[in-house]
Amino acid sequence: MTEHIEQVYQALLADCTRDDTRKTLMVLKETLDEQVKRGSTVFQLPTLADLMIEKGSKGLSALKNTTGKRYRTLIGEYKKQYEKPLTVKKASSIDDWIDRIEQPDIKYLVKDMRAELRRLRGENDTLRNVKELDVDMRPQAAETPMLGANSDNASPVRAMTQIPVILTSQRETATELLDEGYLKKHNLRYDDKGALWYESGKYPVPISGRQLRNIFESLLTVNVGAE
């Protein structure tokens, strides 16, 4: 107990004109000091009232009614001195939760999947921007047709550019992440919105946002390029 709290308590005690009020205030202070000694910072009225009743004192109504202002004043001083604000550590990145996975093999599997997911999302975004495909059927391009992507504002002379392809290893990864046997083996599942979850015991952990299943299914339609 601090000197300031003692001063407030003595002033409140001197202000009491009835013996029962003085006794209730004394029991309240004793209860508050016991909470501090046991390391508790719970100074809520219901909790304090229950502890005071065990000592044969008045209950919750005495603390809450209009004449209980002096009791609430003393409780408020203890709260100011001993209650600590709850601090919540903000994640520095959206993937910080992965480092809290305790099993090393699962942790690195999830990290690898997240990295692969970022690559696949980037390629999927590129494919979404392809609005028109041109196939050059001229003899000199017969062996290796060139596929081009033009925007709505393209000039009449279309610039031919090769559209993205996925590597064999990337296709294999996407195929694995759509395979029910693989998912079950690694405690993974998709929800009805296509998001991937890791079933880590009692509390499932989300690994991706929605539509991941659809992204993988779309990528499997892309041509395979050389490693």
Domain regions of the chain by residue span? 3-82, 96-131+158-225
- The token duo for 196 is 């991937």
Task: Out of 69-73, 93-97, 214-218, give the one with best mean pLDDT.
Answer: 69-73
Burial class (CB in 10 A: 0-12, 13-18, 19+), 157: exposed
Q: How far, CA to CA in Å, does 137 sit from each of 52, 133, 140, 143, 161?
A: 92, 13, 8, 10, 15
Closest of 132, 155, 124 to residue 220, by C-alpha? 124
Per residue in 94-108, pLDDT (tens digit) is 677 777 787 777 877
pLDDT for the residue 30? 92
- Report the share of the chain in percent with pLDDT over 90: 4
Q: Which pTM value belongs to this model? A: 0.38
pLDDT for the residue 93? 65
pLDDT for the residue 176? 83
pLDDT for the residue 166? 67
Residue 198 has pLDDT above 80, yes or no: yes
Residue 214 has pLDDT above 80, yes or no: yes
What mean pLDDT, rounded, does the chain reach?
Answer: 77
pLDDT for the residue 26? 92
pLDDT for the residue 144? 44
CA distance 177 to 216: 8
Residue 6 has pLDDT above 50, yes or no: yes
Residue 225 has pLDDT above 80, yes or no: no
Residue 188 has pLDDT above 60, yes or no: yes
pLDDT for the residue 87? 57
Q: Which is higher by pLDDT, 163 or 15?
A: 15
